[in-house]
Every structure is written in structure tokens, then in C-alpha cells.
A = this chain, B = another copy of it.
Amino acid sequence: MKLTILGCHSATPTVSAHPTAQVLEIKGHLFLIDCGEGTQVQLRKYKIKFSRIRRIFISHLHGDHFFGLVGLISTFRLMGRNAELHVYGPKGIKEAILLFLKLGKSYTNYPLYFHELDTTIPELIFEDDKVSVETIPLEHRVYTNGFLFREKPADRTLNVDAARAANVDLSYYNKIKQGFDVENKEGKIIPNKEITFDPPAPKSYAYCSDTAYHPQMVDQVTEVDVMYHESTFLEEHHHLAEKTKHSTAKEAAAIAKKAKIKTLILGHYSGRYGNLEFFRNEAQEVFLGKIELAEDGKRFDFSKK
């Protein structure tokens, strides 16, 4: 599981501060999460292959999370894309994107599917044999969802030497990997654990932006490996966070603590602060797990334990 931050700043884009977008690589999928203006250029800059993006998840319809989407969809067309594209986002997103495409007489020549969201309870929105994605309802000025990405448990790994020593017929390979006990050539039941290794623990990633302090999400994200939680403000501007329905670094940390998260990534910084370390300092007074600061272009590799 790898995460590339394309942009992690709030509100207006500048030359050096890009609005929200990130790419999660998980079990062979490349998921684009949010798509602020300029995301397609950031994708190019960080050499992410456009054709590998098949699913885009939009948290809410504020410009800094969404205004790059229509340009990216158009660029896919100009690049001669054939592959399906699935867009998950709040109700209304389809009408808006299609209106822009219609005005430019630029309908896509690849299959484009919209999955519009409007529930306020967690909803499973994508699933295959390797991963699942569900919404995390958040609290913001407009209808907003975070997204919870979970790997499914992988197959067990065959311990070839142990299986041979136990005289197991390796034509049972698939059953063994799936965790079944099997009979050996003498008809004796061999417990699966004796001839396999545990697979890597499945990873999980919760993306939570934008949101006010919202402890209602804690149950859903408990013991998630990695959580990105917005921290637009520091506590000194708590009144602004309340007014605009954003979080402070301390509040993000409080969620991470309650949910027993392993790694907390902070981002969606207001432009008013000179030094991002302020966010880390404030968060680590509350949360004792690992804290990372999102930065445009930063890549995290969570594949290793």
C-alpha cells in the first residue's frame, strides 16, 4: 500500500501549494482521491500513469477538491483512453461534469460511470476480491464523505519444504493457500498451519477530509493502519475551525488516539502558517502513534510492516 500526495493545501492554489489530490496504490489498484485544480499536471509531474487510474473518489464538491476533475476527464479523452472510468462523488457531480463536456461538445469516447453518493451512513461503494472501499460520513459545510480503503486478507503462503516433508500432494496447492487442512498421501489430515506461512496482515487507509471534529467516525476507523485527517488550523484558530467546519491538528490527533490508528498523516493546511512542524508539534501532544506531515509530491510506502 503506497500513497502519493499530489496536493495537500486548502483553499486557493499557488505555485508551490497545490489543492487536495492523492493517489493510493493498493493491491494493484491506483485510486485517485479528490482532484483539485491542477491535479492532472501533478499526476504528470510525479509520473503516475494516467491509464492506470480507473476509479476516482471525490469527497465533496468544494473547488479545492473537485475543480480539476473535468479537465482530467477531458485529458483522458484527448489521450485516446479506452478503459472505463468510475467516478464516486456527491449527488450532482454527474450533471456538473456532463454539462461542461456538453458545452465543449467533448463527450468522452471511453466508458464513464458516475456513482453518486447521498447516504449519511457508511456505505460499501466498491469491492472486488482484493479490496473494499466504503464511505466515511463527515461533517462539513456541504455533504462530504471520507473513504475507507481495506485490503482483503491475502492467501496463505505455501511452505514448500514443510509440505514436502509432510508428504502432501502439491496438487492441493490452491486449497492449501486458501487455508484448508488437507490429507497427505498416507491419508493423514495435515493442519494447514503446519505447511503454510501467515500472509502479510491486510492494510487499511482512512481518508478524512474535509471535516469538523467528528468523533462519530471513530468506531468505523478503529485500528486502521493509516489515517489522513485534515488539520486546516492550529488550536490558536479553533474559532475559525469551528466556523468553517474544519479541524485543528489537536482534533485530528484526538480522533487518531480514540481510534487507535497506527499512523496519522496531517494535511489540508491553511496558508497562514509558516512552518508545518507546528501541526506535528500540536498533534503529538495528544497522539502517541506515528505522525507524518503531508507535503505535495511526498510518497509513503506502507507495504512494509
Contacts and interface: CB of A to CB of B under 8 A. Distances in A.
Interface string A37-80: 11011001100000000000000111100111011001100110
B103 A12 contact: no
Contacts of A304: none
A100 interface: yes
A67 to B, nearest CB: 5
A100 B74 CA distance: 17
A41 B63 contact: no
A79 B142 CA distance: 20
Nearest to A44: B14
Interface string A10-43: 0111110000000000000000000001101100
8 contacts: A13-B75, A61-B100, A61-B104, A63-B70, A63-B74, A90-B103, A96-B99, A96-B103
Interface of A: 11-15, 37-38, 40-41, 44-45, 60-63, 66-68, 70-71, 74-75, 78-79, 90, 92-93, 95-96, 99-100, 103-106, 141-142
